[in-house]
Amino acid sequence: MKLLLIMPDAHMHTLKIGPFVRSMREMPLSICTLAALTPEYPDLDIRLIDGSVEPVPLDYDANLVAISVITGCAASAYAIADHYRGRNIPVVLGGVHVTILPGEAIRHADAIVIGRAEKAWPRLFEDFRAGRMQKIYEEDDVDDLLGVPAPRRDLHRRSGYMVPDSIQATRGCKKICDFCTVPAVWPKYLRRPVDDVIRDIRATKGRYIAFNDVSIAEDPEYAKELFTAMIPLGKKWGGLATVDIVNDPELLALMKASGCGYLLFGFESDSQATLKGIRKGFNKPVNYEDVIRAMHAINISVQGCFVFGFDHDTAEVFQNTVERVNELKIDIPRYSLYTPYPGTELFRRLQGEDRILSYNWDDYDTMHVVIQPALMTPEELYSGFKRAYRETFKLPNVIRRMRGLSTNTAINFIGNLTYQMFVRRLYNEQRFSAPYSMLAPGTAPDEGWYRSSFKLTETP
């Protein structure tokens, strides 16, 4: 039996220059975890395809195709699903977007998985083999992440990623920022047993690993236990964190001792009023300098992310942010556009205010304007966003930020070079030539498409 597991290309993660294709992120864990969760059979042949680093085959003679879907790749996922179903090969869809909009996804699938896959996927697979696959599989509510198997990295392509060895220790976040999909999909914050995480880290081949947790130190006591156990492994690692970690010197010391060399922080805005409005008031712009100084003091490179398009943003926000990023000496800056992912509080608010301009999920990559901004036009927002990127990665500004710093030069150099290439793509590629690709009022998902109100009442 042949099982094909696919993660379609989500565009935003991929850098293509001629034949050179590189994912700007770590290797995703979704499909290799799904492979590990699949019950073993002697006749089972599993093939994994990550569309961000390799072409998705359309002629594969699979017995079953399963596709992991995030919003930015939903359109591609549906096209692939429709293609395989057209060849009479059954298709299963799961993942974040399917969990939020099951009523949409089921129109393109023989079965869907809503929520976590740990128990639902093995059950679905056994049902499929027995010829009794149902339409919907939904994971029971759980309070832990016990027994998650080690991902099948042996089946996954390693080349083409910034970091091929990724790890997950926790899932979810205790905070509820209005634009974030995480609280909508994983309402509970869950931790894996430290021993399981250490087992997975030991199995990685490289010296560098990337945690894909959305906030690795969300629970400081758990993080301290994990970092302490990591010290003897001698790995170098990077991940995502929130600014409050700088208030805990013991945590910072253990972070450093365990090999941390890079952290991404979502600063989002330099305006306290904006941060309060988006429920991220725990970020204090007056303290950003302290955060970066604390990281640089222990030789941790900072990727600092800012978002454009908030309701308080005016045309001045772009140049002001570029200046601030330079002053703060953020090692690797990153910008995105305020994007109302379905399922979020932001989506509900802007839909109610009739301010969503595009329901083409291809545009939901944080690189396209999909909303009507409050204090500028969509075109002004888009051109300001591109201009901010171009200014930020001009060589004199890169040098200005790096001057006098002793943080990890290799990480900073590769990071800035990658974003310089990205800026070229932003200006040259057809796909990024317009603020949005489709004005489609009236095609918004109706109530019945959401998880909260989803009931299968008809045969899709």
Please name the helix (run of DSSP H) or strand (run of DSSP E) that holds residue 34, with its range, or none: helix 30-37
Any bridge partners for residue 21, and if so which? 16
Question: Which residue, 66 or 330, has its beta carbon nearer to ligand SF4?
Answer: 330
Residue 347 tokens, joined: 């989506």
- N residues, the chain: 460
Angle between helices 220-230 and 194-202 (to 10 degrees): 40
CA distance 359 to 99: 17
Query: Shortest Cβ distance from residue 211 to ligand SF4 (Å)?
Result: 13
Query: Shortest Cβ distance from residue 363 to ligand SF4 (Å)?
Result: 20
Query: Shortest Cβ distance from residue 196 to ligand SF4 (Å)?
Result: 22
E strands, 53-207, where?
64-68, 91-94, 111-114, 136-138, 161-163, 166-167, 170-171, 190-191
Query: Shortest Cβ distance from residue 395 to ligand SF4 (Å)?
Result: 31
Question: Which residue, 164 or 266, has its beta carbon nearer to ligand SF4?
Answer: 266
Cβ neighbourhood burial of 421 (10 Å; 0-12, 13-18, 19+): middle
What are φ and ψ of residue 438, in 5° steps?
-155, 130
Question: Which residue, 219 or 323, has its beta carbon nearer to ligand SF4?
Answer: 219
Query: Shortest Cβ distance from residue 176 to ligand SF4 (Å)?
Result: 6
**Are 307 and 337 contacting, i.e. CB atoms less than 8 angstroms apart?**
yes
Question: Which residue, 64 or 255, has its beta carbon nearer to ligand SF4?
Answer: 255
Query: Shortest Cβ distance from residue 43 to ligand SF4 (Å)?
Result: 41
Question: Which residue, 115 or 266, has its beta carbon nearer to ligand SF4?
Answer: 266
Query: Shortest Cβ distance from residue 432 to ligand SF4 (Å)?
Result: 24
Question: Who contacts 63 (Cβ-Cβ below 8 Å, separation ≥6)?
Answer: 1, 2, 3, 89, 90
What are φ and ψ of residue 60, in 5° steps?
-75, 135
**Sites of contact with ligand SF4 (CB under 6 A):** 173, 175-177, 180, 182-183, 214-215, 242, 266
Question: Which residue, 107 or 174, has its beta carbon nearer to ligand SF4?
Answer: 174
Question: Which residue, 44 or 305, has its beta carbon nearer to ligand SF4?
Answer: 305
Q: State in Å, rounded, how far the first CA of the chain is from the last one.
A: 27
The DSSP code sequence of 70-118 is -GGGHHHHHHHHHHHHHTT--EEEESHHHHH-HHHHGGG-SEEEES--T
